[in-house]
Each structure stands twice: as C-alpha cells, then as structure tokens.
Amino acid sequence: MKFNYTILSLSYLLTLEQGGCVSLWRKNQVQNIRAYFRRLRRNALDYMVDQRAHGFAQSNQALITVLESIDADVYVSDFETNEILFANKHIREGFNEDLVGKICYKVFRNESSVCAHCNNNKLLNVTGQPTGDLIWEDRNPITGQWYKNSGRAIRWHDGHYVHLQIANDITEHKQAQEEIQKQMHVQDALRKAGAAISSTLDIETVLARIAEQMGQAIDSTSAYINSYEPMTGMSSVIAEYIGPGANAAERVSVLDVSYQEDGYVEFLEMMQAGQHDVAHVGEADLTEYERAEMQEKGVKSILYIPLRIRGELIGYTELRETRQQRHFTSEEITLCQDLAQQAALAIEHARLYGSIAQELSERVQAEVALRESEERYHNLFNSVPVGIYRSTPDGRFLDGNPALMKILGYPDQETMLAANIKDLYLDGSIREQELALIEQGDVVSNHRMQLRRYDDAVIWVQDSASAVRDSSGQTVHYYGRLEDITERVWTEMELQRANKQLQTHLAEIKELEAALREQATRDPLTGVFNRRYMDEVLQQELARAARKGGALSVVILDLDHLKEINDTYGHVAGGDKALQTLADTLKQMCRAEDTLCRYGGDEFLVILHDTPAQVACERAMQWKEAVAKIKFSSSDMEFRVTFSAGIATFSSQSSTGEDILIHADSALYRAKELGRDQVVIYQQGSST
C-alpha cells in the first residue's frame, strides 16, 4: 500500500514494508526543501534582529538620558576608529559645537594620532570583554585644565563595546593643593631659618643654614651670602651653598673670597634702596667684566637680594642658576627676601654680640646674649604666618603672635589673653582628648578640629602642641602652632561630594549596562538565551572540553509542523504558545550547567556540559516524552506538539563550533527524514 503526501512542496512516498513505515524521497525535490528551510530560518533571524534592535534602542535612549544629566564632560567613542559617537550637553556647551563624528584625540588634545596615554587597550581584555572601571588624572595640553577621568567599556545600541569616559574638572582643587604646598614650603623654609638662628650663636653655622634654605627653597644651583663694608667698598663671601645641579666651576669654594665693589655704583644703589636685581648673561646692559665673569663660570641668571638693617646695607645674597636662563617668580623673590632678612638679623646680631663681648664683662655679655635671643625669638614670633601660642593647663593664653589673633578673630592682645581657651571648642571633649594625648607623649602633631572664633564664625584648624615641664615633671605650659585650614577642608569636602556623585552616576550606568546585556542575550518571545549568547558559550565550552578532555554534546530541537500549527490555531495561541511552552519545559528539565538557546524560528539548541552522546540522547527522549503529554487549547480546539532533535558530540571530527553545529543540524535533518518526532545522534558517515 502506498500514500502520497506533499508538505512544503516536498514529495515523498510512504511504503508499508514488513510491518514498518519507510519513507522514499524524490531526489529531484530535495534541493527545493533545503532552500525553503534556509529562507525560513533567514526570515526568522531577520525578525529576531529587528526585535532586538528595538530593545537596544529603548535601553540606549535611557542611557543617553542619564549621561546627558551628568554635570561633567561625558563622551562615548569607538575603540577602533576613536570616532566620537556621543557627547553630552555639558561638553557640547563647552566646545559650542556638535562633536559626534569627529576624532577624539584631534578634538580634545589637538593631536594628529592616537594619544600616547590612550587607555583603550586597558578597558577590554584579550577576549574583548570589559575589564571594569579605570580612574586617572591628567592635564589637558590645550586648556591647561586638570581632570579626574573615569573610563569603562559599555555595550552600545548596535551591540558592540564602546569607550565611555566621564571627566570632572578638578583644576580648582589642584590649584588649591599647589597653593597650600607653596604656603607650606614658605612656612617650612622660614621655620628652618628660625630654627637655625635660635639653635646656635655660631654665625657661620646660622648663615650656612640660611644659604642652604635659600638655595633649596627656589632650587638654584648655588647660593651665597656676602657681607659688605661701606667704608672700604669691599664685599666678602661669608656663606655658600652648592646645590646638586651645580656645575664644576660652582663646586670650587669661594668662601672668604673678597671683591671690590666700588665700580658697581648702580648695583649698590639698588641694594641700598632695598631693591632686588636680576642679571641674565645675554642682557645688553651688563658690563664686559660682568658678562665675562658669568660666561667663565657658566652662570645663566643671578638673583640679588639686599641685606639691610635699619636702612643700612650690610650685604647681599646671590642665587645663581647655571642650568638655563631663569625667570624668578614673585613668590620666589619674596621668600628669598624673607630669608635674607633673617640672615641680616643674624649678621647684625653677631656683630652686636661681638662688639659688646669685647667691651663688657661676662655678666653683661650674658645679659646681652639673652636679650638678643629674646629679640630673635620675638622677631620670628611676630613675623611667621602661622599662629604661635603659649597656654596654661587651665585654659589661658600666656602669649600669642599676630597671626594667632587673626586666625581666632581677636581684636587685640588684651582680649585674647583674657579669653578662656575652652570657649573656643565646639566640643569641650576634644580639648580634653588633645591634652590627654600631650600628657601621654609630650607632643601632638597636626590635630584637626573645629573652633569658634571671637566673632562666632566656625573654622577648621590644625594644631600641633607640646608640653613644657619643670624639674619635677609637672606641666608648666603648652607651646603650640595653629594653622587655619578651613579652605583646605572645604576643598577636600567638595572633592568627596563630587566623588560620591560620580560613584552614583557610575552605579546607574552599571545598572543600565546590565539591562542592555540582558536584552542583548535573551530571546524576547521565550526568555531563553539567543544565538549570539550561544556562540560565546559554545566556544568557551569547546575550549574547556578540549583542555580537560570532558564530554560535550549539542542538541538541536525543531518544533514539528510549526507552520500548520500557526495556520490552524493562529500565531499567538498556536505557534507562539507552543514555542513558549517548549522553552519553559526545557528550562525546567535542563541542569544549571546546561545552556538553552533559541537557535532559529522553530529551533532550540541545548549545550550539555560534560555529557556524552548516549546520555544526551536519553535526556532528549525524556524532553520529548514530557512535551508530548502537554495539551494545548485554542478556540475550543485542542492539539499536541512534537519535536525532532539532532545530537552531535565533541570529537576529533567535531572539534570546532562550526563542525559540531553542522553535525547536529545534519542529525536533525535525518530525524525529519525519518518522519519527525525522532531523536538522532550524528555519527561519521551516518546518523542514528
């Protein structure tokens, strides 16, 4: 008995032979059915791409909305071409133009090729996957602005990874840091000079230390302190400092060498008037002698600072630069003038001490030395830019310099000395803690706290204090240094706020990225993974199987007669419902380590980890039996579905992703040849 059936333009014969059903294909129709299935699969894939693109577009619009709202420069660029794909409102307003389509290193850094510090290669690993956030600071060579940058790789609306960079302008913070460092540098130099003066009466030691402080403070190659005698017109080098950058000529000591200054009338007039002078080797107004001397010693620039006491010139300092011609800044000149004044005081004190020592008795000499020491102390005490104080354990000021009165807002010395220190503290326990620390270790350094000024303004200060004890060990008074760091603290707090805001924005971006990835890897109808995700996982599983020698099987399932189901019961209640139910059933029956994907319009693919072919076949049969029991209803009609499956296993013949997919597809094709509702294992030369 024979039956003729025609399905999708394919003619074949069913013949009953020996109690079985054998199908005979008409060979001239085989090519047509293969072409038809290819078209059907291509149409289904096109539909999936359209749906996925729509989902990407919606998520990308949400991402752009977030990026537009960030109060920082934000742009997205292509890893390969460095083309700007998106620039937010903040950066567009800064450039006053649309930057999309332009090359990032040309726009932002005015360079003709990729930036030397480009971080693109750090944002993706060798497999092309994101490495995470990258934070760095740099200075823009065009504007000179400082930025704190955050870069990461995100998936763009077309599915490929792009470079997202968020740049916060931290120029004001950097400038504040530089200003603080300059002030600390000045304070440190003055402190060391003061320490040198107060630590010894040896004038040679004091001046040598001041010369060293001058040279190091402005990084000159050498520094000299010269005395000057108006009666003889002679000057002598009384202290010198040779820096690490000095040339060979500078390294030859000129200590105690004398010079005749009578020929330099204009120079001496400037020094006498208290004016500094700068000489450069290339200047036209240099005398031939000056130019020859500078050229002989390789000096490019010299800064002269006068040393005066009560309007009388007693000497001058020279700060030489032999590396290159140099412009001395106003800050450097002011610092050197302050240090020169300390040197002048030291010279004057030494002269007075020597003169008095020759005329007075040892007792008188001791009294004068003490007076000079107190004078030096008070000069430093009143001139340093930080607050200096002495206080009693019960909270009264014994003394305080003008800088301390300014910091705490007292109108005069009397008001400050009458004040109770405890009233300055917002929290009285802070003072108790500080005193306890001093008592434990005799000193506390850089202790931060808030104080209330005399005018009720609240400020941040940094306190360093030590205890002065009597012979019995009892604390007589405290000696300390107080600095107003309010602006520094505000800057730090603002930076912390900006960092917190940046972290919030990054968290939002991470959430959007996760949503984008979910949409990029999921089939919208069934909720299982899509073919893109399957390609990634299959390569990973094949690599693991090759490395560890484990088994790996791939099962391709095709829902039988999907077109007839759609035609009979409708796409939603028929085909879509059948596909969703099949996907749900497979998800329930698959293991956690298995990967279920929608492979095509009516096809699903399951990657079975560590599963040989026979076990894969048994599991596929279990799925088939479970699906066959499911009853579907549509418009008072009921129907059931079946599927055909092809299985291929990792082997020497199926060692690549392409090979194993072709072999599984071949086995599926064989299952349909056998009449559908079959499970076939691929074997070389045949499928069983």
> For the segment 548-562, what is each residue's pLDDT rounded down to a tens digit?
877 899 999 999 998
Question: Do 553 and 655 sit in the same domain of this protein?
Answer: yes
> Which pLDDT score, from 0 to 100, does residue 378 have?
65
Question: Do 251 and 137 sit in the same domain of this protein?
Answer: no
- Look at residue 128 and tell me whether its pLDDT is greater than 90: no
Map residue 544 onto helix, strand or coil: helix
Question: Do 248 and 286 sit in the same domain of this protein?
Answer: yes
> Which pLDDT score, from 0 to 100, does residue 36 have?
45
> Which pLDDT score, from 0 to 100, does residue 3 have?
36
Question: Do 44 and 92 sit in the same domain of this protein?
Answer: no
CATH of the domain at 651: 3.30.70.270
Structural domain includes residue 381: no
Q: Element (H or E) spanning 113, and its range?
A: none
> Which pLDDT score, from 0 to 100, does residue 633 have?
81
Average pLDDT over all residues of the chain: 82
Question: Do 355 and 437 sit in the same domain of this protein?
Answer: no
Structural domain includes residue 570: yes
Number of structural domains the chain divides into: 5
Exposure of 132 by Cβ count < 10 A (0-12 exposed, 13-18 middle, 19+ buried)?
exposed
Active-site residue (options: 463, 558, 602, 665): 602
Question: Which of 145-159, 356-370, 432-446 shows the lowest mean pLDDT across its residues?
Answer: 356-370
Q: What is the largest CA-CA distance in the chain?
A: 148
Q: Which of 131, 146, 169 is the last residue of a domain?
A: 169
Structural domain includes residue 647: yes
- Look at residue 680 and tell me whether its pLDDT is greater than 90: yes
**Using 50, 70 and 90 to split pLDDT, how confident is the model at 283?**
confident
**Using 50, 70 and 90 to split pLDDT, how confident is the model at 232?**
confident
Structural domain includes residue 391: yes
Question: Do 141 and 97 sit in the same domain of this protein?
Answer: yes
The answer to whether 641 and 609 are in contact (CB under 8 A) is no
- Paired tokens of 537: 């996982």
The residue-averaged pLDDT of 122-140 equals 89
pLDDT tens by residue, 361-412: 566 666 776 677 666 666 666 767 788 889 998 889 988 889 899 999 999 9
The residue-averaged pLDDT of 180-188 equals 66
β-strand 458-469 against 632-634: which pairing, if any? unpaired
The residue-averaged pLDDT of 473-501 equals 89
CA 681 to CA 688: how far, in whole Å? 5
Between 42 and 326, residue with greater pLDDT: 326
Known catalytic residue at 602: yes
Q: Which of 19, 52, 69 is the last residue of a domain?
A: 69
> Which domain does 544 fall in, by range?
522-687
Question: Do 275 and 363 sit in the same domain of this protein?
Answer: yes
The closest of 137, 192, 147 to 170, measured between CA atoms, is 147
The answer to whether 315 and 227 are in contact (CB under 8 A) is yes
Winning range, highest mean pLDDT, from 226-235, 382-391, 673-682: 673-682
CATH of the domain at 143: 3.30.450.20
Question: Percent helix, strand, coil in the chain (nearest 5)?
Answer: 45, 25, 25
> Which pLDDT score, from 0 to 100, does residue 190 have?
62
The C-alpha angle 299, 303, 309, rounded to 5 degrees, equals: 140
pLDDT tens by residue, 606-633: 999 999 999 999 999 999 999 999 988 8
CA 337 to CA 193: how far, in whole Å? 12
Query: Would you give the distance in Å from CA 475 to the centre of its chain?
Result: 48
Type of residue at 397:
F
Structural domain includes residue 632: yes
Question: Which of 25-29, 31-35, 310-314, 661-665 shows the lowest mean pLDDT across its residues?
Answer: 25-29
Question: Do 23 and 84 sit in the same domain of this protein?
Answer: no
Structural domain includes residue 164: yes
The residue-averaged pLDDT of 472-483 equals 87
> Which pLDDT score, from 0 to 100, does residue 193 have?
59
> Which pLDDT score, from 0 to 100, does residue 666 have?
94
Question: Do 156 and 212 sit in the same domain of this protein?
Answer: no
**Using 50, 70 and 90 to split pLDDT, how confident is the model at 521?**
confident
CA 287 to CA 367: how far, in whole Å? 49
Question: Do 315 and 279 sit in the same domain of this protein?
Answer: yes
pLDDT tens by residue, 14-42: 333 434 334 443 444 444 544 544 454 44
The closest of 466, 585, 463, 482 to 526, measured between CA atoms, is 585
Structural domain includes residue 511: no
Structural domain includes residue 498: no
Q: What percent of the chain has pLDDT over 70?
A: 83
Q: Evaluate the CA torsion angle 53, 56, 58, 64 in order and state its sign.
A: negative
The residue-averaged pLDDT of 266-285 equals 88
The closest of 248, 246, 249, 241 to 204, measured between CA atoms, is 241
Map residue 58 onto helix, strand or coil: helix
Question: Do 353 and 426 sit in the same domain of this protein?
Answer: no
> Which pLDDT score, from 0 to 100, does residue 376 have?
66
**Using 50, 70 and 90 to split pLDDT, how confident is the model at 182?**
low
The closest of 681, 669, 678, 685 to 34, measured between CA atoms, is 669
Exposure of 608 by Cβ count < 10 A (0-12 exposed, 13-18 middle, 19+ buried)?
buried
Question: Which of 361-365, 428-432, 475-479 shows the lowest mean pLDDT across its residues?
Answer: 361-365
The residue-averaged pLDDT of 432-442 equals 80
Phi, psi of 612, rounded to the nearest 5 degrees = -75, 170
Question: Do 156 and 235 sit in the same domain of this protein?
Answer: no
Q: Which of 115, 145, 169 is the last residue of a domain?
A: 169
pLDDT tens by residue, 83-109: 999 999 888 888 888 889 999 888 888
639 forms beta bridges with: 632
CATH of the domain at 206: 3.30.450.40
Between 234 and 10, residue with greater pLDDT: 234
